[in-house]
Amino acid sequence: MTPRGSGAPGNSRTPGISRSPGADGDSGEAGLPQQPHLASSRPRPRPLRGEQQGRVRERQLQSEAERERAEEFRVVAVMLRQRRLSLLAAGMLFGLVTATIILEYLFPGLMNRPFWHGFSPSFLFAAVLVYPITWVIALVYTLRANDIDEPRDS
């Protein structure tokens, strides 16, 4: 008699080689090779606590980076809108002063004729009205710039 598993062709314990029917430990499925245990067929082990925290922190850093990028885009947009507003305000004031000078050059008799308590239109625009107009432009600019910077929720 041959000892079990020694040399007999049907009693081999090598995986993938069939054993004879009825041998010890046989499931009764003769001729079918045993399936090796694959790592992918097992359930994945739960990640360690430190690994979970690392992943959460990584997601937080990604969301913080996205928020920072969005904030940078918002700041750039606000700066562009405020630049346009400041150029408009400066252009209005410059235009008023330039218009006064041009009108003085084109119509010297009309612009120097006194019409109200000795004030001529040229003097009225250049020396008196330029300051209140500057304050009005500055006030409108300040209010509009604040609305651009921090829009009110309606």
145/151 Cα distance (integer angstroms): 10
Extended beta strands in 4-102, E state: none
9/32 Cα distance (integer angstroms): 15
Angle CA 72–76–80, to nearest 5: 170
Q: Which H or E element spans position 105?
A: helix 49-106
Place of tokens 């300051």: 131
pLDDT in tens, 19-42: 555 555 545 555 555 655 555 566
Q: Whole-structure pTM over 0.95, yes or no?
A: no
Q: What are phi and psi of 17, to 5 degrees?
A: -110, 130
- What share of the chain has pLDDT > 70, as a percent? 63
pLDDT level of residue 134 (50, 70, 90 thresholds): very high
85/80 Cα distance (integer angstroms): 9
Q: What is the pLDDT of residue 153?
A: 63
Show me where the domains of the chain are located: 49-149
